[in-house]
């Protein structure tokens, strides 16, 4: 009898283990950016459609798909469970997601960050990578770090935090995110507030340095199209919650949230009474990432990525502060960053020819100038000025490339010594 029970127990364990392995593999493979079978929202074709008039009887929204493939020229209708793409009551009602890619389907989804979903960044920053593995990255209070850095996209995060007496590390949260692409920068940030109120908007949106007001009525969205990409910031609640879409690059759900009194007590954050520590909860969905993508989160989307964190421990930690720290929230420069601004004046060709060995992402923008002077004195000085003296004889060697000059008396703010002939 004991032998029979042992055999049954072994058989059960084998079945259970095989089920668990299948579950983990399906989660990991199902979200890889390079997996063609699971493109879904990663595919630019997903939202390539024209709006049609809603169903007259039910009010369900409809679209006409324009994307090439099996869904081209087909009409898709939202399910009756979620008749609208942008429902009015976002907290309780799912929105209709229309997918004109090879999936050719409509589904109901909440339009808020899922802090347990792929590409999420929430809490005392807790990440879920593109491989489905959860990890923590604490950064540093006041620091800025690259979450994603790729050929066409760069995302930084600004960390706020506190360190109670007796602790060896900071408690940190993400207060702002900057999204850089082409020559543009979009910033989504949480305002510093002393006492939290759900009915007061603590969301900041800036486009290329200018403040943006996202309407709260009508379509409740702000958008811009520069002829290359369309950027849409749409509210998914009356306050403090938006969905951001940059065509061909990413979609992200962002929510501004505080640290509540109970959360502060349970975790012993010891936060000051006059600061709600408003911060961001975010979930990213990417399109067209390269196989060499970098960043705290970005690298987890590499097809050959193997996580270095310890699986199974309560707080698996991810390092990399030295690799991913940037000069500021708006800077794409770090030791491992890949992104380069399109407006870079130090071009790739010049970089290679002159072997400048510039930091990755550094444009080194500079000035090209031509002067025309009037009424200069005969004793004019300066690197350029001295060459306008009527008695000037150049001291540089003609012929070598490049010919150098030296000015031992040159001063930043000037001096009497600099007005004497060498």
Instruction: Output the average pLDDT for the chain.
Output: 81
CA distance 107 to 85: 10
Is there a domain that residue 231 lies in?
yes
Is there a domain that residue 214 lies in?
yes
Please report which confidence band the pLDDT of residue 305 belongs to, taking 50, 70 and 90 as the band edges: very high
- 57, 133: one domain: no
Is the omega angle on the peptide bond into residue 402 within 30 degrees of 0, that is, cis? Answer: yes
- 139, 281: one domain: yes
- 97, 185: one domain: no
Please report which confidence band the pLDDT of residue 374 belongs to, taking 50, 70 and 90 as the band edges: confident
- 215, 321: one domain: yes
Please report which confidence band the pLDDT of residue 419 belongs to, taking 50, 70 and 90 as the band edges: very low
- 131, 90: one domain: no
Is there a domain that residue 390 lies in?
no
Final residue of a domain: which of 309, 340, 371?
Answer: 340
- 325, 183: one domain: yes
Pair 221, 233: CB distance under 8 Å: yes
- 254, 308: one domain: yes
For residue 208, the model assigns a pLDDT of 96
pLDDT tens column, 165-206: 888 888 999 999 999 999 999 999 999 999 999 999 999 999
- 19, 51: one domain: no
Please report which confidence band the pLDDT of residue 95 belongs to, taking 50, 70 and 90 as the band edges: confident
Final residue of a domain: which of 304, 319, 340?
Answer: 340
Using only the alpha carbons of the chain, give its radius of gyration: 28
Please report which confidence band the pLDDT of residue 89 belongs to, taking 50, 70 and 90 as the band edges: low
CA distance 45 to 279: 33
392 Cβ contact partners less than 8 Å away, ≥ 6 residues apart? 386
Is there a domain that residue 380 lies in?
no
For residue 376, the model assigns a pLDDT of 86
CA distance 298 to 293: 6
**In this structure, what token pair is assigned to residue 302?**
């590499």
Res 36 pLDDT > 50: no
88 vs 159, more confident? 159
For residue 380, the model assigns a pLDDT of 87
Is there a domain that residue 184 lies in?
yes
Domain count, the chain: 3
Closest CA to 384 of 373, 398, 374, 375: 373
DSSP H helical ranges for 251-299? 261-267
Is there a domain that residue 411 lies in?
no
Closest CA to 278 of 200, 207, 359: 200
Tell me which residue range forms the domain holding 13.
Answer: 1-28
- 48, 85: one domain: yes
CA distances from 38 to 101, 102, 106, 114 (A): 10, 10, 15, 19
Is there a domain that residue 64 lies in?
yes
CA distance 283 to 255: 9
Closest CA to 214 of 237, 185, 191: 237
Q: In the chain, what percentage of residues exceed pLDDT 90?
A: 52
Is there a domain that residue 379 lies in?
no
Closest CA to 341 of 151, 133, 111, 66: 151
- 83, 156: one domain: no
Res 38 pLDDT > 60: no
H or E element that contains 24: helix 2-30
- 99, 236: one domain: no
Res 414 pLDDT > 50: no
pTM: 0.66
Instruction: Find the mean pLDDT for residues 341-356.
Output: 50
Final residue of a domain: which of 315, 340, 365?
Answer: 340
SS3 (DSSP) at 66: coil
316 Cβ contact partners less than 8 Å away, ≥ 6 residues apart? 133, 134, 135, 136, 309, 310
- 94, 237: one domain: no
CA distance 15 to 21: 10
């Amino acid at each position: 009898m004991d032998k029979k029970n042992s055999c049954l127990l072994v058989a059960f364990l084998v079945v259970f283990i095989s089920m668990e392995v299948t579950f983990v593999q399906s989660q990991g493979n199902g979200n890889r950016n390079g997996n063609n079978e699971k493109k879904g929202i990663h595919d630019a074709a997903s939202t390539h459609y024209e709006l049609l008039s809603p169903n007259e009887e039910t009010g369900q929204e409809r679209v006409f798909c324009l994307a090439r493939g099996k869904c081209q020229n087909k009409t898709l209708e939202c399910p009756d469970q979620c008749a609208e793409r942008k429902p009015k009551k976002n907290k309780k009602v799912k929105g209709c997601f229309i997918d004109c890619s090879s999936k050719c389907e409509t589904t109901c989804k909440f339009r808020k960050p899922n802090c347990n979903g792929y590409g999420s960044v929430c809490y005392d920053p807790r990440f879920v990578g593109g491989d489905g593995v959860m990890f923590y990255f604490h950064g540093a209070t006041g620091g800025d770090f690259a979450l994603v850095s790729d050929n066409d996209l760069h995302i930084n995060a600004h960390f706020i935090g506190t360190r109670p007496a007796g602790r060896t590390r900071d408690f940190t949260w993400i207060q702002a995110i900057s999204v850089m692409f082409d020559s543009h920068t979009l910033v989504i940030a949480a305002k510093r507030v002393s006492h939290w109120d759900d009915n007061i908007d603590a969301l900041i949106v800036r486009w290329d340095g200018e403040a943006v007001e996202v309407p709260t009525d009508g379509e409740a969205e702000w958008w811009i199209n520069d002829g290359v990409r369309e950027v849409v910031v749409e509210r998914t609640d009356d306050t403090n919650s938006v969905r951001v879409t940059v065509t061909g690059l990413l979609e992200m759900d962002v929510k501004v949230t505080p640290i509540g009194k109970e959360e502060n007590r349970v975790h012993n954050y010891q936060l000051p009474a006059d600061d709600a520590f408003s911060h961001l909860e975010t979930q990213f969905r990417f399109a067209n990432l390269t196989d060499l993508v970098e960043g705290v989160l970005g690298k987890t989307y590499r097809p050959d990525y193997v996580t270095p964190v310890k699986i199974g421990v309560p707080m698996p930690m991810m390092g990399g502060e030295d690799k991913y720290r940037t000069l500021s929230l708006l800077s794409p420069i770090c030791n491992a960053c890949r992104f380069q601004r399109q407006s870079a004046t130090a071009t790739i060709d010049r970089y290679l020819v002159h072997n400048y060995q510039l930091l990755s992402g550094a444009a080194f923008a500079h000035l090209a100038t031509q002067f025309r002077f009037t009424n200069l004195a005969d004793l004019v000085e300066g690197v350029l000025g001295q060459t306008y003296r009527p008695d000037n004889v150049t001291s540089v060697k003609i012929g070598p490339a490049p010919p150098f000059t030296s000015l031992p008396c040159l001063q930043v703010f000037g001096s009497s010594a600099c007005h004497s002939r060498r």
